[in-house]
Chain A
Amino acid sequence: LAAAALWDVLGILLGGAELLFDGVKEHHVTLPSQSEPWNMKQLLVWIGQNLLKERPELFVQGDDVRPGILVLINDADWELMGQLDYELQDKDNVVFISTLHGG
């Protein structure tokens, strides 16, 4: 249905997670079009290949985010939304907050 659409996603990194992305907190991302909708699992792979600047082991673990990094999709805990299987919608807002940094 939405095969030709592009997915515009706003990614925000907080709590120290931005330090792995050259200190940049806001990332406006246009995902390449694909036949199936993008899901979070694919987004993580894409982030790892295109945005993550250093020490990927501090952000991803296997094909998931590293435990201790919280994920919010449109300001709600992704644990309420299917986590890795969540299918991204155009204009979604994804926030990654590290809890692993000093406080």
Chain B
Amino acid sequence: MPIQCSKCTEQRAVLKRPKTGQSLCKECFFIVFEEEIHHTIVSAQLFKPGETVAIGASGGKDSTVLAHVMKVLNERYKYGLNLMLLSVDEGITGYRDDSLETVKRNQEQYDLPLKIVSYEELYGWTMDAIVKQALDRGAKLLNVDKICTGHNADDLAETVLMNVLRGDIARLRRCTSISTSSGGEDVLPRCKPLKYAYEKEIVLYAYFKKLDYFSTECIYSPNAYRGHARAFLKDLESVRPSAIMAVLHSGENLSIKESVKMPVQGTCGRCGYISSQALCKACVLLEGLNRGLPKLGIGKHHRLHEKLLSQQPLSNAEERKLKAVDF
């Protein structure tokens, strides 16, 4: 016996919403999903008319849904935004090629201009210029005012939990903010229109809309620390779906006592750019390219930063982990 849509009471329901428990048909789901993102954008005043907004596009589900919804809402509600897709080519053969191919198809499907910034392109610049984040650099080239990214409610709940588990109070305070203002003249403001959208709904939206996206290998091994946190949240969600929103809400409303000492945001030991690690991302990336270890710029390897700073050689085991891999 098929369940009817609780909204229009006519069509067959195709999903149970994790946020509300409502049963919705395909069309009602599309409307509700898009309207909630519109509400997020309007109530947090994420954009101003006339702005050029780059959508950080990886070809994955979140950024693909984001690009689609931003395009739809920009037209439906006349945001007056100049939208474009912005992608970073890490220059590594393997899965990245497929994800870039997906982004290229998205460009045609959504009729949005696409700019792919390659590390090579950055590489040709001066040392000083390289030390900025790739997306920011690319966006600067295009006179973009803002970057929006596909972080969803599940991602943010996970980040809250991870910061609690790491005792990282400074990040815990910052991690749930829906937008960041410009962090210096070369860092663009960023925002997250999908902040309150559940991963389940993003995936089902992409599925029912037949959006073209690319899935990478499992990003978290279930036994890694972050993998445990993710699995824990998913387990909680399967018992009580509102757990995701509850964690996010807790993160947003935590206030930190004045007496809590905040770590001072440090600077990169090589170039002086703001960095919470010994070396900034760009310097690590450059170092990786120079040493023929492309993965250095991708994963989290801050334990190696001291070695890199003092120009010490890496051990064989460390090098093996950072070589271009067979995907």
Binding site for B on A (CB under 8 A): 14-16, 19, 57-58, 66-68, 70, 72, 75-77, 79-81, 95, 97-103
Measured CA separation A16–B222 after assembly (Å): 15
Measured CA separation A101–B215 after assembly (Å): 6
A75 touching B203 in the complex, CB below 8 Å, given contacts A15-B61, A102-B216, A103-B61: no
How many chain B residues touch A (Cβ–Cβ < 8 Å)?
A: 36
What 5 A-B pairs have minimum CB-CB distances, sorted nearest first? A103-B60, A102-B216, A16-B215, A67-B234, A103-B61
Main secondary structure on A side of the interface with B: mixed
CB of B46 within 8 Å of the partner chain: no
Whether B13 lies near A80 (C-beta < 8 A) is: yes
CB of B225 within 8 Å of the partner chain: no
- Using an 8 Å CB-CB cutoff, how does the interface string of B208-230 with A read, 1 for contact, 0 for none? 00000101111110100000001
Whether A76 lies near B215 (C-beta < 8 A) is: no
Whether B60 lies near A77 (C-beta < 8 A) is: no
CB of B51 within 8 Å of the partner chain: no
Whether A16 lies near B217 (C-beta < 8 A) is: yes
CB of B252 within 8 Å of the partner chain: no
Whether B15 lies near A76 (C-beta < 8 A) is: yes
Measured CA separation A84–B230 after assembly (Å): 23
Chain B minimum-CB-distance residue to A16: B215
User: Within 8 Å CB of B150, what residues of A?
Assistant: 103
Chain A minimum-CB-distance residue to B63: A103
Whether B3 lies near A80 (C-beta < 8 A) is: yes
25 pairs, CB–CB < 8 Å, chain A vs chain B: A14-B207, A14-B215, A15-B61, A15-B203, A16-B217, A16-B218, A58-B222, A67-B231, A67-B234, A68-B230, A70-B200, A72-B207, A76-B13, A76-B15, A80-B15, A80-B16, A99-B61, A99-B200, A100-B220, A101-B216, A101-B219, A102-B215, A103-B62, A103-B64, A103-B213
